[in-house]
Amino acid sequence: MKPGGHILIIDDEASLRQTLARILQRAGFEVTTAANGKEGLSLVTEHPFDLLYLDIRMPDVSGLELLKTIHAKFPELPVILFTAQPDLNSAVEALRRGATDYLLKPLKPQAVIDRTQAILSNKQKERRRRELLRQIETLQAELTALENDKPPGLDLSSQKTTSSDDRFLRRGMLTLDMHTRRVTMNDRVINLPPTSFDYLLVLARHAPNIVDYQTLVSEAQGYETDTREAQELTKWHIHHIRQAIEPDKRNPVHVINVRGAGYRLVIG
Judged against a pLDDT cut of 90, whether residue 239 lies above it is answered with no
Between CA 8 and CA 119 the distance in angstroms is: 14
Any idea what DSSP says for residue 45?
A: H
pLDDT in tens, 88-147: 667 777 777 778 888 888 888 988 998 898 888 877 777 777 677 777 877 777 777 777
Cα dist from 18 to 8, 10, 157, 236, whole Å:
12, 11, 57, 28
Decide: 178 and 204 in contact? Cβ < 8 Å.
no
pLDDT in tens, 51-80: 999 998 888 788 888 998 998 888 889 999
Write out the CATH class of domain 6-119.
alpha beta
Judged against a pLDDT cut of 50, whether residue 241 lies above it is answered with yes
Between CA 164 and CA 214 the distance in angstroms is: 30
Between CA 168 and CA 176 the distance in angstroms is: 6
Q: What is the CA radius of gyration of the chain?
A: 21
Between CA 56 and CA 80 the distance in angstroms is: 10
DSSP code per residue over 64-116: HHHHHHHHHH-TTS-EEEEESS--HHHHHHHHHTT-SEEEESSPPHHHHHHHH
Beta-sheet strand order (sheet of 101-104): 30-34, 6-10, 51-55, 79-83, 101-104
**Structural domain boundaries of the chain?**
6-119, 163-268
Neighbour tally for 136: CB within 10 Å: 13
Q: Please, what sign has the CA dihedral across residues 125, 131, 132, 134? A: positive
CATH of domain 163-268: 1.10.10.10
Q: Which run of H or E residues covers position 207?
A: none
Decide: 240 and 193 in contact? Cβ < 8 Å.
yes
Between CA 43 and CA 34 the distance in angstroms is: 8
Helix (H, G, I), strand (E, B), or coil: what is residue 133? helix
- Residue partners of 122: CB distance under 8 A and separation at least 6: 222
pTM of this prediction?
0.59
Decide: 97 and 67 in contact? Cβ < 8 Å.
yes
pLDDT in tens, 3-14: 578 999 999 999
